[in-house]
Amino acid sequence: MMTSPAKYCFQDLIPTFLCREFVDLLLPYTLPAWLTPHCTKVDYWTHAIIVPVFKKPGLDTADMANFRPVSNLTFMSKVTERAVARQLHEYVTAEDLLPRCQSVYKK
C-alpha cells in the first residue's frame, strides 16, 4: 500500500493520503474484505470511471477515434490488484511454471 502512487479516484471512500497515513488503523477493517471471495466484493471496487483523453494536439476533436479511454479505479482496487499479482508471480516462479522460451511480458 505504501509503494502505490498517491492518486485519487472520485469513488474512493477514504482519500488516498489518509489510507497511507493510517494504514495500521485501517488494515483490520480492510483485510477481511480482501480475504472474501471476489463475488462478495463491494461494487465500487470493481467499477471504473472512464475518461476520454485526447491522443495528440492537432487532431480532429469531433472524431472519437482521436481519443483513448483511461480508466480510473479506486485505490483499494489497485492495492488488491498489486497484491494478487505479486503473490501469483511468486507462486509461478517458485513452482517453475513459466515457459523457458518466453522472453517478453516477464517482470
What does the pLDDT look like over 61-100, one tens digit per residue? 899 999 999 888 877 777 778 888 888 889 988 998 888 8
CA distance 66 to 58: 10
Q: How many residues does the chain have?
A: 107
pLDDT at 35: 62
- Looking up cell 505479486 gives 86
CA distance 26 to 52: 33
- Find all residues with CB under 8 Å of 81, minimum gap 6, and list them: 73
pLDDT band at 43 (very low <50, low <70, confident <90, very high): low
Give the distance, in angstroms, between the CA of residue 101 and the centroid of all CA atoms in the same chain: 29
CA distance 89 to 23: 24
